[in-house]
Structure 1
Amino acid sequence: MTFHSRSVVEFGLFYSRISESLLSGAPLANTLELARAQLDASAAALQIEDRWAGGQPQTFLVDDGSAVEAPAARLAELLDTAHHVSACRSSEVGGMRYTLWLFRDLSDIHFDAEEGSVCEIVVGEILRGRELSQRIGTSEVERTLYSTVMDRLAVGVVILGAGGSILCCSRKADEALSERDGLQLQAGRLRATCAKEDRELQAAIKLAIQAAANGVQTTRGIALTRLSGQRNLGLVIQAMPTAARQGVIATPTVAIFLRDPEANAEVEGELVRELFDLTPAEAAVARRLAAGLSLEDAASSLDISRNTARAHLRSIFSKSGITRQTELVRLMLNSAVVLGERPRQVA
């Protein structure tokens, strides 16, 4: 074995490399190779079994530094033809069981008790690393989904840290900040383009940060003048109270929601057709009405006559059980259709 009782630093470096390999998303073969090389083994194998789902377990194996194409068969062979030490750890939730084996040729010395303990430490770290990596991955998927939905609703989101600096922005918020029309980014901080309104904004942010630190949730609205002459940009400033989670104190933050009143929620043509049982032509008319166009403008943009557009509208009314154009717009914008992807081509 490579480790000695005096080699605490060496073991710490090895443990750190194992952790980094797992959290970086590197193939599991990389982690196995680290364990194999450090413990002077000829091969290392890992088997992951989902005890709740059943089925065949996943097997990973490195032999003399290279990943094996048929790991399950090679594992069975090594168990009969080589010295080995193993350790097993099971997840408290999720039903996953991890088993790690290390092998040496029969001509080499057996694994000792200390090496068996190292094997147990490594498989425990593999379990923790995999579960943490999965949680991070799930959180990232959730964040992306929520951000995408907010973008489709034309709502921008800016998250501020305890000092007022920007931690992250959604795509819609980035677009609004890049226009510098009522709101802008200066030295990592959110600023209104009008000096008087900026003082009001900074005071509101400061109060929200203080409220968050005190565990109080507050919400305030501010309207910012736009130099372009368009309607005011609306902001909602919301304190996000400090919360203790699993022994870690979260940083007090503030969420700022902004929405351009000139913007329309995106409506996907194919979803309109599917959700309301419309023809492609009817869906095209409905999309344009939901975007704020009049029936005449919708007909013009589709290059059809007003009478044809009116006929499509009557059919839409009949299928959806409504009688007024304003009801149609409300129905569509309150439905799941606004959550769909924007089409590549205009319907």
Structure 2
Amino acid sequence: MNAEGTLADRLYEAALVPELWTETCERIALEAGSSTASIFTVDGSGNHRYVTTPNIAEAFAQFVQSDTRLDNVRPLRAMQRSPFSFVRVTDLLSAEEFANDAIQRDIIEPHGMQWEAGWAFQEPTGHVIVITLMRAKGLTHFSDEQLARLDLLKPDLARAAYMSSRLAFNEARSMTETLSMLGLPAAVIGDAGRAIAMNPEMETLSPRIRTGAGDRLILEGAGANALLEEAIAHYKAQASPAVQSLPMAGRAGAPPLILHLLPVRRAARDIFSRSMAVLAVTQVGQVGPPDMRVLCGLFDLTPAEARVARGIAMAQTPEMIAASLGISLETARSHLKKIMLKTGTTRQAELVLLLSGLNAPSFSGGRPEP
């Protein structure tokens, strides 16, 4: 790691100190060979919040105040056609659509930009988070190599953007204020691996999530507890844990939970002194097969693994999945083993219980819900 820290460090720093997002967006653009980088969220009412590089800030201000934001088909198309990777806008719109696109014509091009690529994902509460980058007029379009580099950043981008979106990209002045602003059950894990603060929402989840001897966090279920302990051990060693979204299957009418671990980096330690990580909990419970976009965003599953996971959630056997996907039984079983490792489950029945709660609410685009 260099003296300035890795880009992942900067992402997690900005997640908890949102005033640093402008600089972090510039680092993302530099890493991607892009002219701009922006992150925005869209809720069910069509409200947009965003952070961006300064050179496109005026365009974004115009966009979020105009009716064109309500007819933006990019996020929905990206989630449908490319849920696992960054994609060029020209691969989402037909040639005719691109030529007549109001956002391209009235906002992007007048501000000196020409090419756009991005990735959109939906978190379980239904909000859509979009990461979008642009290249200036006169430059070539985003190459496959550039998109591949961006795909490597997806897990860190997703978690940092999700946490910051819960804070509405506003700066908190204290640990207590941050936990309050999140609006999610949350706890702060100290350098020694102990829970040093938690909000009332987290306390209501006891006994599923509770503190034990020495203020150690204890999760219901051996698999989830082992994953949390492993992640904390990695943080203590200053390493990135293999799993940062930890699943807890539903129990006795209680919905599944997803625990998001966010490392406290750099300037974030000014607010979270002596802290190692923030743990936030998303409650899910939509009935039906899991949404591929949610699977990808939460557990970093590959496209092939996500397809197998969806089959498992629909009560298909590995044999049935292999036949429907046109893969060998050995390959299906190999994917299943990796899925269980990433989700912290030990039995197929446990995996089914977890995945059955990951069907995200519908998202029709920017138009407010009726």
Q: Normalized against structure 2, the TM-score is what?
A: 0.32
Higher gyration radius (CA): 1
Q: Which has the higher strand share?
A: 1
Flag the structure with more relative contact order, 1 or 2, with Cα contacts below 8 A and sequence separation at least 6.
Answer: 2
